[in-house]
Amino acid sequence: MTNKLLWFWGGFFSFMWAILGAFVFYNGSITSINAKYITASYYAIISLVSFSAVSITLATSIAWSSNSLIFSFKFTKLSKRRYLLDLMLAWILVSVFLIVIGILFTSSMFYLSSKVDVFPDYLSFLKTFSVEIFIGLFFMSISVMLVLLVISFSRIKFVQFLSFIPMVLVFGLSYQLLFGSASKILIYVSPWDSAPSLIQAAFLSSSPLNSFVSSNPQRLSWQLLIAGLMLWELIIFVIDIYLFKHIKAQDIEAMRQV
């Protein structure tokens, strides 16, 4: 909660994209008919950028703490499972602020740009909030897995590189829904494709879609998308527990030399 880098990259960085979307990318193309749809679609991507940015900070933080964790697991009552559960709680607390502020800020920017009411109603707000908490936990678990792979089986200097994988995949996979379409199978299998579809659907209180720009998008199943995310999170959580058993002492100064 006091990490300035986390709030800068998770908050300010995503807000910058909201301003660019409202006043640059979509300026002049927003109408009273498509304003809310565009806002929901663009916010779905912005929120993933925010989560991926926070996951980078989290991965780096765990890397710096690797030697302390080894000591704590061995000589204190802190268990690997308890550490992960506490980490999940901390992530949820941070996500609450990011999600609420993100929805309000993005909607405000598109409202100022279009002069159309694009704010989600109360029920849609709760749906979006709930879905994003769930998606945020996936980003947390995947970032923990990546950093544990490094400090368990590789050199810590690779943490800086691997921690950016969630964000690279957001720009590489999630953005395709803004500019094209993805197959149903890919969206059901890939959290980076299913997540924006779920967020947009929750924001609009509609069915998830396989494209944000197609004139005839395919509708997807809420149940299958949620089930896919749950399966991913369960598998990665088990992998995280396993990897914690193999973490090794690291030369932390090696990260400074990259």
- Structural domain that includes position 93: 4-172+231-256
Answer yes or no: is 180 within a domain: no
Long-range contacts, 224-227 (Cβ 8 Å, 24+): 224/188, 225/187, 225/188, 225/194, 225/197, 225/198, 226/134, 226/198
Q: Kindly report the CA angle at 176 between 29 and 199, in degrees rounded to 5?
A: 80
**Helix, coil or strand: residue 211:** strand
Q: How many CB atoms lie within 10 A of CB 68?
A: 10
Answer yes or no: is 71 within a domain: yes
Answer yes or no: is 188 within a domain: no
Answer yes or no: is 90 within a domain: yes
Answer yes or no: is 242 within a domain: yes
Spatial distance between the Cα atoms of 248 and 76, rounded to a whole number of angstroms? 17
Answer yes or no: is 189 within a domain: no
Answer yes or no: is 121 within a domain: yes
Spatial distance between the Cα atoms of 166 and 140, rounded to a whole number of angstroms? 10
Spatial distance between the Cα atoms of 238 and 165, rounded to a whole number of angstroms? 20
Spatial distance between the Cα atoms of 86 and 61, rounded to a whole number of angstroms? 15
Count of domains in the chain?
1
Answer yes or no: is 207 within a domain: no
Cβ atoms of 222 and 185 within 8 Å: the answer is no
Per-residue pLDDT of the chain (258 residues; tens, 9 = 90+): 677 777 776 677 778 888 888 888 887 788 888 999 999 999 999 999 889 888 888 888 888 888 888 888 888 888 888 888 888 898 888 889 889 999 999 999 999 998 999 999 999 999 999 999 999 999 999 999 998 888 877 777 677 778 889 988 998 888 888 888 888 999 999 999 999 999 999 999 999 999 998 888 999 999 999 999 999 999 999 998 888 888 877 766 665 555
The one-letter code for the residue type at 191 is P
